[in-house]
């Protein structure tokens, strides 16, 4: 049996940010706690949001004290402010970091003593009404049942999943993503591509998740190079936003796999942005699974425009080349090298990285189940690539 969980309302299109007030009204709330990054300090976005809210008699309190990927410290600070203002709805306007923080605020506002590890097993996870408005394309968090928060004490990323973590509404306005700089367009776009690919290649893939995954792969493959080259291309930005939302729906209803399992500890240890870390590991993870998923690999390669004809094995192998090609075009390798400069420390940290990767999500759902030695090879291959690669 397979199931499909998704937000109740999804709005898509240029200018649909104006809908925020109307949607809040539909959710029967009065006071919005708006979690946001720096984008909302820019006009015209602030005015659009304020007008949309105020004309319907709603109030808003803003929380923008989040400069990095979210931690338990951000969460505690946001919970105090939400409590003080008494808001009855949480709105996220930002990248995956902001959306995940908003998800956590919506849950922990009503469940003060809940622990992250207990979330997946809860029968009914109560939370405040939640509206997600992504400004990256992206994590797809506006459509997923997952939130990722770093526990600063334990120095690990917690990523509990529960269907009630899916926001009530997602607003996909491509204008919000036009200001993304090239490198963030690339990191977040490669993350979305990895979500769709890993969902399609997962043991938990279903006919329903496949539908979203394959369409996401097509849309992202076509529009990411365009959005990267010309950030003002609103059509390409819109395709990326919808593609990343579909990719989120796909992995939320299937799973992510080894690229995410290996990226999580590496990103935490070296403070590498999530999408960059996933993009760095993706080619090696694809190579690792090549011979067990030939059919599906060749379908993905075709969706990404492979021109190889002939045997399925050859088309499947082309997928590695295509993904490597994206990494080279988007300067992913060079950026990765900037974070992992010290080879000695990397080698010394390997055992911790491997243990952490094996203990988290995304291991059992691979078509080929990785051992510690397999994961060690993937990390070492990445290191070799960064040391010796010739990328252009
Ligand atoms: N919940 C999920 O389903 C899910 C899935 C994948 C990743 N994640 C998590 O999401 C986080 C990463 O989110 P992300 O990749 O969207 O990046 P992000 O939210 O961390 O944003 C990256 C940077 O881009 C800036 N930014 C965001 N939107 C912008 C815009 N429109 N213009 C200019 N700058 C902008 C941010 O201020 C930040 O500096 C990580 O913590 C990751 O683990 C969550
Ligand atoms: Zn991801």
Pocket lined around ligand 1, Cβ cut-off 6 Å = 37-39, 69, 94-98, 100, 135-136, 138-141, 144, 146-148, 176-177, 179-180, 184, 188, 191, 248, 274-275
What is the C-alpha to C-alpha distance for residues 131 and 141, in angstroms, rounded to an integer?
A: 11
130 within domain boundaries: yes
3 within domain boundaries: no
Provide the domain limits for residue 363.
Answer: 182-388
Question: Whose C-alpha lies nearest to ligand 1, atom 34?
Answer: 180
Distance in Å, CA 292 to ligand 1 centroid: 32
What is the C-alpha to C-alpha distance for residues 374 and 354, in angstroms, rounded to an integer?
A: 9
Tell me whether the omega of the peptide bond preceding residue 315 falls within 30 degrees of 0, making it cis. no
Strand partners for 59 = 31
Residues 320 and 352 in one domain: yes
Q: Is 338 exposed, middle or buried (0-12, 13-18, 19+ CB in 10 A)?
A: exposed
Residues 232 and 356 in one domain: yes
Ligand nearest to the CA of 260: 2
Helix (H, G, I), strand (E, B) or coil at 163: helix
1 within domain boundaries: no
Domain boundary, last residue among 118, 143, 177: 177
Distance in Å, CA 56 to ligand 2 centroid: 36
pLDDT at site 78? 98
Distance in Å, CA 278 to ligand 2 centroid: 7
Atom of ligand 1 nearest to the CA of 178: 31
Domain boundary, last residue among 138, 162, 177: 177
Residues 186 and 170 in one domain: no
Residues 94 and 189 in one domain: no
pLDDT at site 345? 82
Domain count for the chain, please give it: 2
pLDDT at site 42? 83
pLDDT at site 390? 72
Strand partners for 61 = 33
Residues 167 and 257 in one domain: no
pLDDT digits (tens, 9 = 90+) for 76-97: 999 999 999 999 999 999 999 9
Residues 296 and 149 in one domain: no
What is the C-alpha to C-alpha distance for residues 214 and 219, in angstroms, rounded to an integer?
A: 9
What is the C-alpha to C-alpha distance for residues 111 and 329, in angstroms, rounded to an integer?
A: 45
Name, in order, each residue with C-beta under 8 angstroms of 224's C-beta and a sequence gap of 6 or more.
185, 186, 189, 190, 193, 240, 326
pLDDT at site 61? 97
What is the C-alpha to C-alpha distance for residues 300 and 290, in angstroms, rounded to an integer?
A: 12
251 within domain boundaries: yes
CATH code for the domain in which residue 96 is found? 3.40.50.1970
pLDDT at site 354? 97
Distance in Å, CA 347 to ligand 1 centroid: 28
What is the C-alpha to C-alpha distance for residues 129 and 29, in angstroms, rounded to an integer?
A: 8
Ligand nearest to the CA of 261: 2
pLDDT at site 108? 98
Average confidence (pLDDT) per 10 residues, the chain, 392 residues:
95 98 98 92 91 97 92 97 98 97 98 96 97 97 96 89 98 97 98 98 97 98 98 98 98 97 94 97 97 96 96 97 98 94 82 94 93 97 87 65
pLDDT at site 340? 87
Distance in Å, CA 192 to ligand 2 centroid: 7
283 within domain boundaries: yes
């Amino acid at each position: 049996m397979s199931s499909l969980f998704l937000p109740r309302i999804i709005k898509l299109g240029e200018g649909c940010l104006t809908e925020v007030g109307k949607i809040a009204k539909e959710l029967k709330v009065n006071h919005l706690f708006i979690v946001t990054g720096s984008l909302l300090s820019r006009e015209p976005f602030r005015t659009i949001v304020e007008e949309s809210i105020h004309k319907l008699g709603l109030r808003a309190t803003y929380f923008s004290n989040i400069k990095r990927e979210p931690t338990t410290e951000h969460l505690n600070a946001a919970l105090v402010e939400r409590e003080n203002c008494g808001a009855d709805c949480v709105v996220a306007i930002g990248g995956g970091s902001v959306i995940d923080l908003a998800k956590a605020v919506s849950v922990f506002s009503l469940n003060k003593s809940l622990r992250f590890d207990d979330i997946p097993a809860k029968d009914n996870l109560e939370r405040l009404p939640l509206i997600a408005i992504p400004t990256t394309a992206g994590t797809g968090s506006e459509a997923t049942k997952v939130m990722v928060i770093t526990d600063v004490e334990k120095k690990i990323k917690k990523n509990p999943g529960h269907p009630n973590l899916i926001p009530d509404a997602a607003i996909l306005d491509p204008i919000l993503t036009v200001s993304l700089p090239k490198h963030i367009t690339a990191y977040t776009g490669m993350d979305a591509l990895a979500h769709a690919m890993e969902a399609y290649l997962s043991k938990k893939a279903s006919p329903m998740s496949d539908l979203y995954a394959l369409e996401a792969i097509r849309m992202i493959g076509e529009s990411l190079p365009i959005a990267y080259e010309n950030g003002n291309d609103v059509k390409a930005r819109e395709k990326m936003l919808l593609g990343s939302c579909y990719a989120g729906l796909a992995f939320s209803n299937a799973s992510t796999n080894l690229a995410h399992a290996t990226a999580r500890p590496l990103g935490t240890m070296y403070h590498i942005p999530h999408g960059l870390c996933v993009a760095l590991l993706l080619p090696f993870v694809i190579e690792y699974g090549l011979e067990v998923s030939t059919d599906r690999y060749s379908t993905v390669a075709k969706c990404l425009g492979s021109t190889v004809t002939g045997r399925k094995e050859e088309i499947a192998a082309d997928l590695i080349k295509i993904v490597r090609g994206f990494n080279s075009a988007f300067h992913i390798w060079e950026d990765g090298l900037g974070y992992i400069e010290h080879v000695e420390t990397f080698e010394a940290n390997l055992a911790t990285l491997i243990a952490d990767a094996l203990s988290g999500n995304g291991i059992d759902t691979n078509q080929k189940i990785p051992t510690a030695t397999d994961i060690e090879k993937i990390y070492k291959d990445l290191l070799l690539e960064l040391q010796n690669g010739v990328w252009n």
